[in-house]
Amino acid sequence: MKMNRKKAVGVLITLLSIVLGVVWLTPLIWLVGTALTETSFHMTFLPTTPFTLDNIKYVWNAVPFGQYYLNTIILVVGTFCIQFVTSTLAAYSLAFYKFKGQALVFIVIFMQIIIPNDVLIIPNFMTLSELGLYDTKLGVMLPFLGSAMAIFLLRQHFKTVPKALGEAAMIDGANLWQTIWRVYMPCAKPAYMSFAVISVSYHWNNYLWPLIVTKSPTNRTLTVGLAIFAKSKEANMQWSNVCAATLIIIAPLLLAFFILQRQFMDSFVSAGVKE
Amino acid sequence: MKQKMTKRARRETAIGWALLLPALLFMCVFTVYPVVRSIVLSLMKYKMGMDAPEFIGFANFTRLFGSSTFWKVMRNTVSFALMTVIPSMVIGLVLAMLVNRKGRHIGFIRTAYFYPSVMPMIAIASVWMFIYMAKNGLLDQMLMSLGLAPMDVLSNKATVLPAMAVMYVWRESGYLMVFFLSGLQSINSDVLEAAAIDGATGWKTFRHITLPLLAPTTLFISTIAFTNCFKLADHVIIMTEGAPNNASTLLLYYIYQQGFTNMNYGVSSALTVIMLVILLIVSVPRFFSQDRKIHYA
C-alpha cells in the first residue's frame, strides 16, 4: 500500500516536471516555428503555414549579419584569450606567492564580484572615449580583460594541485611558464572549461556595453544588430522576420548548450557569479 | 641567513606582483577607478557642453530626491525586484526538487528549464514582445478567443511591470534552479535516510531538514538574484523605453537615459552611486557567509 503511494507520487512528479518543461519551452517552440514557416497574419502557437527558409534568407540579406557574426566571434575569442592569460598569471600568483599588499588585491577582486560591469557604463564610457577607443573592438573588450571570476575559479583549482608536482617540474629545470603550462593548467582543466563557458556565453549575449561603445557596422555585435533590426520599421509587426533574426543570433550558443548541457549548468554553478 | 631570507622575500614579492599586474591593471581601470569617478562626479555639475565639471556638493542628490520621476523609478525598481526575486527563487527551488532525481528524461527536463539563461535578454524580450503585443499578440489572441477583452499589457501602466516580471521569472527560475540543485545534492543522504527511519515523510522532511540545510545556499542565491535583477536594462530598451510615462523605467535604464540621452553626467553619476549602495546592501550576505567554499569552488 505504502509502496503504491510512493510510486503514484513519483509518477505525479514526473508528469508535473514534463508539463512545466513544455510550458518553459513554449516561447522557443513558437520562435523556431515562426522563423521557419511562411508569414502568417494570425498568430498561433504552432505554425499553420508551410516550411520555408525565406525568412532567414531575407533577414540575412537585409541586415549585415555576416559582418556581425564575424565581429562577435572576434570579440568573444579575443576577450577569452586575453582573459585566459591575465587570469592564469594572477591566479598562480594569488595561489602560491605571499607578499605585502595581497589583501588589497582581494578587495579589488571582491569589488568586481559584487559590482556588475553593466552599472558602471557611464564612467567606463568616459574612460574609453578619453583613451580614444570609442567604436573599436578593443574598446568593447577592454573592461572585461581582468576577470575576478576567472581568477577566483582558477586559484581554487591551482591550490588543489599537490605542491610536489610543481616542485618536481622546477627541479627538472622547468621555468615558471613551463611549470604553469605543463603542470598547473592540465590539472585545472575543469576550471578552464567552466571559465570558457561563462566567458563565451556572457560576451556572446552582452548588449548594453557594445550598444553604448559602438556605432559603425564594422564593430557592432549580433545583439546590437538584432536590437536595431527589431526596432526598425521593416521589422515592425513582421514577427516571422524578427523571429528569424533572433534565431540567427541565438542558434550557436543554444546548440552548444543542448549538446553540452551538463557542462554548461555545472559551469554556471561553479563560477557562482556571472562575471 | 637573515639577509638571504629578505632577499628571497623581496624576489617573491616582485614576481607575485608582476604576475598580478596585467589583470590588476584592467580591474583597477575599469572597476575601481569608475567607482571612484562616479562618487566624485556625483558631487559635480557636469552636462554636455560644459568644459569642466563644477563642484556643487550634494545638489545632484537633493535634486533627485525632490523629483517625482526619481521616486517613481525607485518604486519601479524595488517592486520589480520584489515581483521577480522571490517568485523566481521559489520556482527555482521547486524546479530543482522536481529534477533532483536520476533518470533518462531528467537531463532533457533540466535543459528545458535552463535554456533561457543562455539566451541574450534582448532575444527574450523580442520574442515576448509578440506574446504581449496589442491585439495580434499571443496573449491578447488567447483572451479574445475566450471572449475576453484584449489587455495590451505593455501600454498599461498597471500591467507593464508585472508583464515584464513574468518574462523575467521565466528566465531566472531555471538559472537559480541549478544553484538550488547543487545545494540539494550536497545534503548528506544519510540525514534524509535517518529522517525516513524516524518516520518523517514528504513535507515534514522538507520543512525540518531540507529547508534548514539549504539556508546558507538560499541566502547566497538571494544575493545573486537581487544583483542580477538590479542590473537589468536591456529588455526595457527593447520593449518599452520606459513607457507608458516612465511606468517601466528601472534604475539602470534611468542611468543610461540620463547619461546618454540627456547627456547629464553629474546626475547619472549620482544615480550610479545610488545603484552601488543598493548593490552593496544586497551583497551583505556574502560578507557573513560561513561556508564560502561551497559557493566558489
pLDDT, residue A87, reads 96
Q: Which one-letter amino acid corresponds to residue B78?
A: V
Mean pLDDT of A242-260: 95
In angstroms, the separation between the Cα of residue A250 and the nearest Cα of chain B is 6
Q: Is the ipTM of this complex over 0.85?
A: yes
CB B264 within 8 A of CB B205: no
Dihedral angle of Cα A217, A221, A225, A231, to the nearest 10 degrees: -120
Please name which of A226, A204, A218 lies closest in space to residue A73, comparing C-alpha atoms.
A204
Output the 3-class SS for chain B.
Answer: CHHHHHHHHHHHHHHHHHHHHHHHHHHHHHHHHHHHHHHHHCCEECECCCCCCEECCCHHHHHHHCCHHHHHHHHHHHHHHHHHHHHHHHHHHHHHHHHCCCCCCHHHHHHHHHHHHHCCHHHHHHHHHHHHCCCCCHHHHHHHHCCCCCCCHHHCCCCHHHHHHHHHHHHHHHHHHHHHHHHHHCCCHHHHHHHHHCCCCHHHHHHHHHHHHHHHHHHHHHHHHHHHHHCCCHHHHHHCCCCCCCCCCCHHHHHHHHHHHCCEHHHHHHHHHHHHHHHHHHCHHHHHCCCHHHHHC
A236 confidence band (pLDDT: 50, 70, 90): low
Which residues from A are below 8 Å from B112, CB to CB?
21-22, 24-25
Please name which of A219, A27, A28, A223 lies closest in space to residue A138, comparing C-alpha atoms.
A219
Cell numbers at A27, concatenated:
516561447
pLDDT, residue B292, reads 47
pLDDT, residue A166, reads 83
* Residue A134 contacts B, CB cutoff 8 Å: no
Asked if the structure places residue B125 within a domain, the reply is yes
Whole-model pTM: value is 0.92
Asked if the structure places residue B21 within a domain, the reply is no
Please name which of A112, A268, A93, A82 lies closest in space to residue A193, comparing C-alpha atoms.
A268
Query: How far is the C-alpha of A195 from the C-alpha of A87, rounded, in Å?
Result: 10
Domain residue limits at B284: 38-296
pLDDT, residue B272, reads 98
In angstroms, the separation between the Cα of residue B18 and the nearest Cα of chain A is 9
Q: What is the CATH number of the domain that holds B226?
A: 1.10.3720.10
A101 in helix, strand or coil?
Answer: coil
Asked if the structure places residue B8 within a domain, the reply is no
Residues of chain B short of pLDDT 70, as ranges, are 1-5, 289-297
Q: Which chain A residues in 45-104 lie under 8 Å from chain B, judged by CB atoms? A: 45, 85-87, 89-90, 92-94, 97-102
DSSP state of A37: B
- Beta-bridge partners for A51: A37
DSSP state of A52: -
Mean pLDDT of A65-81: 96
Give the residue from A111, A158, A265, A268 with the most B CB atoms within 10 Å of its CB, the best one to mutate.
A265
- What's the domain count of chain B? 1
HSE, side-chain direction, 13 A CA sphere, residue B148: 9
Asked if the structure places residue B208 within a domain, the reply is yes
Asked if the structure places residue B132 within a domain, the reply is yes
Query: Which residues fall within 8 angstroms of residue A68, CB to CB, at 6 or more apart?
Result: A217, A220, A221, A222, A224, A225, A249
DSSP state of A154: H
CB B118 within 8 A of CB B178: no
Q: Which long-range contacts (CB under 8 A, 24 or more apart) does B185-188 make?
A: B185/B100, B186/B294, B187/B213, B187/B214
Domains of chain A: 66-239 (1.10.3720.10)
Which residues from B are below 8 Å from A102, CB to CB?
16
Query: How far is the C-alpha of B263 from the C-alpha of B266, rounded, in Å?
Result: 9
Which residues from B are below 8 Å from A92, CB to CB?
19
pLDDT, residue A274, reads 35
Query: Which residues fall within 8 angstroms of residue A134, CB to CB, at 6 or more apart?
Result: A128, A213, A215
Q: Which chain A residues in 165-224 lie under 8 Å from chain B, judged by CB atoms? A: 176, 201, 204-208, 211-212, 223
Asked if the structure places residue B202 within a domain, the reply is yes
Asked if the structure places residue B55 within a domain, the reply is yes
pLDDT, residue B3, reads 57
Give kind and range of the element (H or E) at residue A158. helix A148-160
Asked if the structure places residue B28 within a domain, the reply is no
CB B258 within 8 A of CB B274: no
Give residue-wise pLDDT tens across range A112-128: 999 999 999 999 999 99
Give residue-wise pLDDT tens across range B279-290: 999 998 887 765
* Residue B59 contacts A, CB cutoff 8 Å: no
pLDDT, residue B240, reads 92
Closest partner residue to A114 (CB to CB) among B29, B280, B295 is B280
pLDDT, residue B286, reads 80
Query: How far is the C-alpha of A77 from the C-alpha of B56, rounded, in Å?
Result: 44
Query: How far is the C-alpha of B126 from the C-alpha of B137, rounded, in Å?
Result: 12
Mean pLDDT of A229-240: 76
Distances (CA, A) of A272 to B90, B188, B223: 19, 21, 11
Tell me the pLDDT of chain A averaged across its residues. 90
Cell numbers at B42, concatenated:
556625483
Give residue-wise pLDDT tens across range A95-110: 998 888 889 999 999 9
User: B164: exposed, middle or buried (C-beta count within 10 Å: 0-12, 13-18, 19+)?
Assistant: buried
A214 in helix, strand or coil?
Answer: coil
A176 in helix, strand or coil?
Answer: helix
pLDDT over 90, % of chain B: 67
- A66 or A47: which leads in pLDDT: A66
pLDDT, residue B18, reads 94
CB A68 within 8 A of CB A135: no
Give the β-pairing of B54-55 and B44-45: antiparallel
Contact A121 B25 (CB under 8 A): no
Across A163-179, b (16+ Cβ under 10 Å) vs e yields eeebeebeeeebeeeeb
pLDDT over 70, % of chain A: 96
Which residues from A are below 8 Å from B15, CB to CB?
93, 97, 176
